[in-house]
Structure formats: C-alpha cells, structure tokens
Structure 1
Amino acid sequence: MRRGEIDGARQAPKRAVLGTIVEAFEIASPVEAIEPYGRGLINDTFRVVAGGTRYVLQRINGAVFPDPLRIMSNIQVLDRQARLHPDLGFRVPVLIATRTGEAGLRAPDGNVWRLMTLIEDAVGLPRLETPEQAREVGRLLGRFHTLLQSLPADALSVTLPGFHDTPAYLARFLSVLARVEGARNDPDVEIGVRFALDRQALAKRLADARDRGEIPVRVIHGDPKLDNILFDRDSGRALALIDLDTLQPGLILHDIGDCLRSCCNRSGESAGGLNRVSFDLAVAEPILHAYAEQTRAWLSAEEIALIPEAIRLMPFELGLRFLTDHLEGDRYFKVAEPGENLRKAGIQFDLVTDIEGKAADIRALVSRWNASEV
C-alpha cells in the first residue's frame, strides 16, 4: 500500500459514522460522546461515553496488521489467563462484543473496529519521576511475563509477522538504501546510514541465540513502552499494559529491552535536541530490581545474560525502522512534518551510543540478578 492509500485509510470518520459503528457493539444507549483519544502512531483511537460508561474505540490499521481479528483473539486469551491468576493483580481491558456476538466489527469499507472498556481511575505518565514509579514498571512487566510464561507460545496467533525481526529490518534497510537514488547525499541521512552499517552484527545477536536454541520463544507484549503502562491515579501502583496489538509469540528480551529503552531515555522519543539523549541508570536499576523479584524463579540464565545486549539492541532496531521509513517516504509511522522519522532515528541512535558508553554499568546491574540485594 502506498503512502497516500495509508493516509486515506487513516482519515478520521465523521461523527455520524462513528456513532453507527459504536451502536453495532453490545452497549447501552445513548452514545453521549465520541472524541479522539491518545497518541498512537498506528491505529486511530477514540474515547466513547455511552450509557454513562467510558470505552475505547479503535480502528485497527489494516495496512499494518494483516488479520486484525487475530488481535482480538489474543486479547481474549490474555483476559482468560488473568482471570485464572487474580493474585497477580493484572488488569486487562475487556473486549465488548458486537450485537451479533463477534469480537470485532468489520465495517463495509473493510476496516476492522474494536471496542474495549476503559480502565477507570488510571493514568499514563509522560516520564518516570521517582524510583518507586520505576519499581512499579518492573513489577508490572514481571507480573505480565509471569502470568503468560506458563502458556505455550503457540497458544497465541502471530498478529504482526516479522515484528522485532531485527535481521529482517536490517535487510529491508539495506534494500531500500540501495534503491533510493541520492539518499546518502543528505548529510543527516548519511550520519544515520553510517551508524547502522557499523552495527550490522548487533542486529543478529538475539535472533542467533534463538536459532541456536539458547533462548526460548515465549508470549510477549511486544511494545511495553511507558506510554502503554497505566498507573492507579491515587496509589501510583502500575495496573495494566495496554495497546495489546503485538501480543504474540516472541522473545522476552525484546520486551525487557524495549521497556528500558522507553523508560530510561528521559528526554523522550521526540526530543527536539534541547536535552541530551541519555540512558538513565538510576531509572534502570529499580526497574531491573523489581523485574528480577517477579521472574527470577523461571527466567533462564541465558536470557538474563543477554539483557545488556537487548538494552542496546532495541533502540538500534527502532532507529533502523525510523530511518528506513524516512527513506521510503514515511509509509509506516505517522509524522507531523517531513524529516520527523529521520530526527527520531537520530535520537534512538544517540541512545545506543550512550548505552554503549555505559555498558560496564549495565552489565554490573544485571550481574546482581540473583544476589539478595536485587
């Protein structure tokens, strides 16, 4: 699908059309409010109030997800698992069925919509301000992985083929680079290209370990960045991981690395250059500490040993994807202005550089995984 086709698919439906879509789900009437909600880069999201209850309505981007109904099936598996383990205190948004009993709605134009309950009294955080907030992130991710580690990986469908396949992202980047005439004439692009080419071996680290059978494929969230973590408004306790589109079989190391990439880069993914991009060890330590408390009984020694590599890999992977998307004309990630994906690629590559400079400190944090103080 070309960029113009994707943009056309993303154009927000009119209020009357949205109202008709909402009415197709099994909820009370009347529909009192529908308004844009959140900052997602892929799906279109709306907050709905109907019958005094608040919901989240989403149009799943069919240009990204080849079979959106698989996403709903995976969420239902997660919900059932969470109900079997209430002691873990993990909240899952509840899918609302359509009036015909389906988990999602396929509209006449082919778009697939879902409606979920909104987790009340919960807030997101733009950044972590205290060690306790960081510990809550580690506890939540650890509880999430503990909740799902007993499931066989094939209990869930693959919703986004090739996601976190870093060698494939690298191959695509190299292919795009070769066919985009004059791409490297832009000095900013050339800086990113050289950075990526110098670290091609990094792209294969986790995939090679998986292929050699050293680390297992498990059920993962796929995108556990800070934006996707909800905290209790009053107590500050981390309640839920949302945006479950990439819930599927994968490597837990991708989740750990991506969570730390997001939480420990305190200047954010869209930093405008005013703040130096850096990996905050003071945030990483309590996250890893709390995560270890939840997972040390079952996480393998091989997975633990590769955590430093995962922390370095995930910003490299995201930067590679941003850079490739820039070269292809911003086909995947939404952008507000030309060059935004290139700038975001530079931020992620700067984060990799800072992580590389702190490699010994990161290894020291992980080496204490089974020590009593961790």
Structure 2
Amino acid sequence: MQSFKYIAEVVPHFKCTADAGSYKPYGSGHINDTFFLKNLAEGSDYLLQRINHHIFTNVEKLTENMQKVTEHLKLKVISNGGDPMTEVMTLIPTNSGKYFYQDSDGNYWRMFFFLGNTKSYDLVKLPKQAYEGGKAFGKFQAMLSDIPAGEMFEVIPDFHNIQHRLRQLNDAISKDMAGRVSSVKPELDIVRKYAEPMQYFQQPDKVNALPKRVIHNDTKFNNVLLNQNDEAQCVIDLETVMDGYVAYDFGDAIRTIINTSTEDEADLSKIQLNMPLFDAYVQGYLREASKFLTDAEVRSLMKGALLLPYMQAVRFLTDHINGDVYFKTKFEGHNLQRARAQFQLLKMLDANAEAMNATILNEMAGYKTAHY
C-alpha cells in the first residue's frame, strides 16, 4: 500500500491519462523501482519509475542527459526513416514542464510511454537474439557518435574506473562494517591476482589513442527491447548514458550474453561460454559500429570483455562486505554469490581471450573490406 500512496500522489502531476490504481511492479532492475500503469484512454500504457536518488544524486542533470540523448536519437531515427515513438524511449513531462517530479517525502519520479508488444531476455539462448543485441548497441553508439565528449553530465563519477572501484573495496575491507571480511579471503585473492592488468583503461600511455564517446554504460542484454520476431527495437535504461570508452559497453554486453547461466548462479560449473552467441554478438555489433570505430577501439574491445565481469565482481563483493547497502538482494549472501559467479565468468573469458580477440579482428577486417 505504501507504493500506491506515492503513485496516487505522483500520477496527477504528469501529463498523462494513466490509471494509478492499475499499477504493478515491473522489471528486474537492481537500483530503481518501476511500475506499469494502464492508460485510461487510447494509446500507449505507461512506466512510472522511482529514481534512486541516493545513487543518482543529481536528478536534474540526470534528466537533462536523458532528454538530450532521446531527442538526438529520435532525430537520427527519423532521418533513417524509422519510427521514433517505438525505437526510442519517450519521457512524459509533468504539468510544470519538467521531466521529473519530487513527491512529498522527497522521492523523485519519472514517466515513460510503455513500449508494448516487445520483450527482453535476462538469459540469451539463440544466436539471432545475440546478433540483434549487438546490432542494437552498435547502432546506439553509432547514432550518438557525433555528440562531442564532454557534453554529458557525469551522473555517477568514476562509474567504470576500476581504480576507484578497488579503492571502494579497500575502504570496505578496512571498515568491515558487517564483519564479513574474514569469510571472503578466496575472493579477495582473485581480486589481487587480476588487479594490475585490469587497470588498462586508467593508464594514459595505453589509452591515449582511445577517444571518449557517449556510451550507454549499462549494456545488460535485458536493456534491449526486441519485437515479437526477436528483432532489436529499442535500447532502454538510459540513465547512465555519459562519456566512456566503447569497450565498456562491449564488455558489459558480452558479460551478460555469453554466460551459459545467470549473473548470480550458485553452481559455478554451470558457468561456461556460449561461443556461438559471442560470434553472433560481434557480427551484429560490428555491422553497425564498424562505421565509426577506430582501429585502437577495435583492439580494446576484448580488454573491456575481461574488465567488466571483474569490475562487477568487485562491486558485488564490496556491497557484500558493506552489508548489502547498494544492490537489491533476495537473500543473505546474494551479493557474494553474484561476485563468485562473475569471477568464474572472468576465468573462462581469460582462458579464451586470445581466440575471442581473433574473432573480433577477423570480423572487423571483413567489414573494412566491405566499406572500402
């Protein structure tokens, strides 16, 4: 009932015809609370989202980022002969003209049109799905590639800076607020083993040839909506769109697509690499991204594929040590289970990195030949 109290207050402040009483929780996100609302009139239904302002501390700037990105994407879609209302998320304004509302208890809310007749997957099963995901994120990056670096607000500073994440882990270890450090020594050993090579993107001599671009920064596969034919339709969850290296997006997508099990798999033997899905994702991604990627960026992609599961494991482990204060959990030890699963995925990727990088380079060579 607490949710309905807020929803009943918030909905009238948006320019919509949503039925507040029809609300139901929607999605599987770790950070924000999302609700589906029926439309009382004809037209699209709605998604109402309570923004976690403890994580996204500057909601106004966050919203400006989303407005800038969605407007840019809509213009690109129109110029390509597409439908901006189905291929790009649409923010609903409030009666005051803003795109967020703060309720009487200080919570921040935003609303979107719900994109019906679409689906998303937490676990990818078919090469076609992986290919469409690659195409979606490659096209997303390509459409934003003409926005100069520096124009977007950094909504979460150092979001993919592994040195920052390691400092957060060390701080959690020193405080040991939940008394859990002594029980995670094997996981901390893995952190230390990989720490040095994972700092590639923070070494100026390594990345001086890599441009910063506007990227998604959270390319889990379930952030792509597919139509009923499993064809990519829309990239969603745009709150972390800001500057970064394209390899970050590539790495996070690979992390969530080619794992044969879930992000929090308890049985580590089930975590293997689905290489046909990797091949398909690379094909779809480079079909779009090859139009703008530099050679240095292509060579960095596999670095991102190794970094992102490592970084996510570090973040899960840090939250576990801190007492589970950041990510939503379903049971005690959930974050530790997530961390162990990501470390296992990293080991599998590391063992196959050379062959996977060869696949990327060979595929890119084919697109270069086609383009020129």
Q: TM-score scaled to structure 2, two decimals?
A: 0.92
Post-superposition offset of 1:240? 1.2
CA 1:33 to 1:215, structure 2 compared with 1: closer, same or farther past 3 Å? same
SS at match of 2:308: helix
Aligned to 1:63: 54
CA 1:210 to 1:230, structure 2 compared with 1: closer, same or farther past 3 Å? farther
Post-superposition offset of 1:318? 0.1
**Percentage of matched positions with identical amino acids:** 27
2:189 paired with 1:191: no
CA 1:360 to 1:155, structure 2 compared with 1: closer, same or farther past 3 Å? same
CA distance in 2, matches of 1:28, 1:185: 54
CA 1:30 to 1:60, structure 2 compared with 1: closer, same or farther past 3 Å? closer
Aligned to 1:118: 114
Aligned to 1:265: 259
Q: Which amino acid aligns with 2:297?
A: E
Superposed counterparts of 1:1-374, under 5 Å: 13-28=2-17, 30-31=19-20, 33-52=22-41, 53-86=44-77, 87=80, 89=82, 91-180=87-176, 183-186=180-183, 189-209=184-204, 212-233=207-228, 235-273=229-267, 276-372=270-366
**Cα RMSD (Å) of the superposition?**
1.9
Post-superposition offset of 1:73? 1.4
Deviation digits for residues 6-46 of structure 1 (CA, Å, limit 9, x no counterpart): xxxxxx73424312211110112654511111111100110
CA distance in 2, matches of 1:88, 1:267: 38
Of residues 352-361 and 172-181 in structure 1, the stretch that sits farther from structure 2 once superposed is 172-181
Q: Which amino acid aligns with 1:65?
A: F
Q: Is the 8 A contact 1:88 1:143 kept in 2?
A: no
Q: Is the 8 A contact 1:71 1:247 kept in 2?
A: no
CA distance in 1, matches of 2:253, 2:205: 20
Q: Which amino acid aligns with 2:262?
A: G
CA distance in 2, matches of 1:55, 1:209: 45
Q: Is the 8 A contact 1:105 1:113 kept in 2?
A: yes
Q: Which amino acid aligns with 1:213?
A: N
CA distance in 2, matches of 1:339, 1:167: 25
User: Which ranges in structure 1 are unaligned for 5 or more consecutive residues?
Assistant: 1-11
Q: Which amino acid aligns with 1:147?
A: M
SS at match of 1:114: strand
Aligned to 1:4: none
User: Which ranges in structure 2 are unaligned for 5 or more consecutive residues?
Assistant: none
Post-superposition offset of 1:75? 1.6
CA distance in 1, matches of 2:147, 2:81: 15
Post-superposition offset of 1:323? 0.4
SS at match of 2:34: strand
Aligned residues between the structures: 360
Deviation digits for residues 278-306 of structure 1 (CA, Å, limit 9, x no counterpart): 22221111111121121223201111111
CA 1:304 to 1:29, structure 2 compared with 1: closer, same or farther past 3 Å? closer
Deviation digits for residues 88-134 of structure 1 (CA, Å, limit 9, x no counterpart): 85722111111111111011222110011011211112322222111
CA distance in 2, matches of 1:33, 1:210: 55
CA distance in 2, matches of 1:210, 1:222: 23
Q: Is the 8 A contact 1:140 1:238 kept in 2?
A: yes
Post-superposition offset of 1:262? 0.5
Post-superposition offset of 1:85? 1.4
Q: Which amino acid aligns with 2:285?
A: Y
Q: TM-score scaled to structure 1, two decimals?
A: 0.91
